């Protein structure tokens, strides 16, 4: 859990500083920063997505994950949590964009290979080096996001704590069931590629090109490794 706690702190610090600094930036400058973040988010998403070794696995994961996510109403639950926090902690200009900042940052910080691998390594053997690197990246990303999306970004630390902490605890309890996990592990590759598709959806949101309910696609990143493991069990692929 050491890595998760470190990550939570950097998101809090970066998000708080970004929100404080962003209020001093002209609106046009904030819009340009937002569009720059959106473009880079798209690039990162594409870079992750093209690592797949089987596009059909990614497609099936997205389709099934989307159906499951819509049924569970994940996006609505994230929005509701953001609204609750907004009513309690946000005031004035911050209140208008709190939920968007919270949900967007929560998705960005929790979707990706470093989140999964880092949390598993931290839980299995207490190695939090990967999460330490992610923490630094998230701190700077939080600062940039919060400069345009406001203080809601800092509250994404709550999502990071719950999500990464749960993965680390699961790895701690399951132990050797995870086996040796690296970036080249087949299920990690497909999970990364599927996560890249979700990251692309976030990029579209930041660019205000399309309102994608990325939260409802979250189950896809767990379905992808399940498909890989099921195919391996059946001797396929």
**What confidence score (pLDDT) does residue 60 get?**
96
**What confidence score (pLDDT) does residue 16 get?**
93
Q: Is residue 236 part of a domain?
A: no
Q: Is residue 68 part of a domain?
A: yes
Taking the C-alpha atoms of residue 196 and residue 218, their distance in angstroms, rounded to an integer, is: 11
Q: Identify the domain containing residue 146 by its residue range.
A: 2-229
- Cβ neighbours of residue 224 closer than 8 Å, sequence gap 6 or more: 57, 58, 61, 187, 190, 191, 193, 194
Q: Is residue 102 part of a domain?
A: yes
Q: Is residue 13 part of a domain?
A: yes
b/e map of 19-32 (b: 16 or more CB within 10 Å)?
A: beebeeeeeeebee
**What confidence score (pLDDT) does residue 51 get?**
92
Q: Is residue 35 part of a domain?
A: yes
143: its two tokens: 């600062």
Tens place of pLDDT per residue across the chain (237 aa)? 788 999 999 999 999 998 888 777 787 887 887 888 889 889 888 988 999 999 999 999 999 999 999 999 999 998 898 888 888 776 666 666 888 889 889 988 988 777 887 888 788 778 888 898 899 889 988 988 898 888 899 999 999 999 999 988 888 887 666 666 777 888 888 988 998 899 899 889 888 888 889 889 989 988 998 999 999 888 876
How many domains does one find in the chain? 1
**What confidence score (pLDDT) does residue 237 get?**
63
Q: Is residue 209 part of a domain?
A: yes
176: its two tokens: 């050797």
**What confidence score (pLDDT) does residue 95 get?**
61
Taking the C-alpha atoms of residue 151 and residue 26, their distance in angstroms, rounded to an integer, is: 17
Q: Is residue 235 part of a domain?
A: no
- Cβ neighbours of residue 192 closer than 8 Å, sequence gap 6 or more: 48, 51, 112, 113, 183
**What confidence score (pLDDT) does residue 92 get?**
61
Q: Is residue 156 part of a domain?
A: yes
């Amino acid at each position: 859990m050491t890595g998760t706690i470190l990550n939570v702190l950097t998101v809090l610090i970066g998000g708080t500083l970004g929100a404080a600094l962003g209020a001093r930036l002209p609106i046009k400058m904030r819009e340009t920063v937002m569009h720059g973040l959106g473009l880079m988010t798209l690039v990162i998403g594409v870079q992750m997505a093209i690592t797949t070794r089987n596009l059909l696995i990614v497609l099936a994961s997205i389709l099934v994950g989307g159906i499951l996510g819509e049924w569970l109403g994940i996006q609505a639950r994230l929005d509701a949590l953001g609204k609750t926090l907004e009513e309690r902690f946000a005031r004035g200009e911050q209140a208008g964009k709190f939920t968007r900042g919270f949900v967007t940052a929560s998705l960005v910080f929790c979707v990706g290979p470093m989140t999964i691998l880092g949390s598993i390594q931290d839980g299995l053997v207490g190695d939090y080096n990967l999460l330490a690197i992610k923490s630094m990246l998230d701190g700077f990303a939080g600062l940039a996001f919060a400069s345009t999306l406001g203080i809601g970004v800092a509250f994404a630390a709550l999502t990071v704590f719950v999500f990464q902490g749960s993965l680390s605890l699961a790895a701690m309890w399951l132990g050797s069931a995870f086996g040796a996990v690296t970036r080249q592990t087949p299920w990690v590759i497909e999970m990364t590629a599927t996560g890249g598709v979700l990251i692309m959806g976030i990029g579209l949101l930041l660019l205000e090109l399309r309102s994608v309910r990325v939260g409802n696609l979250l189950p896809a990143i767990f379905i992808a490794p399940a498909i890989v493991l099921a195919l391996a069990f059946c001797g396929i692929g």
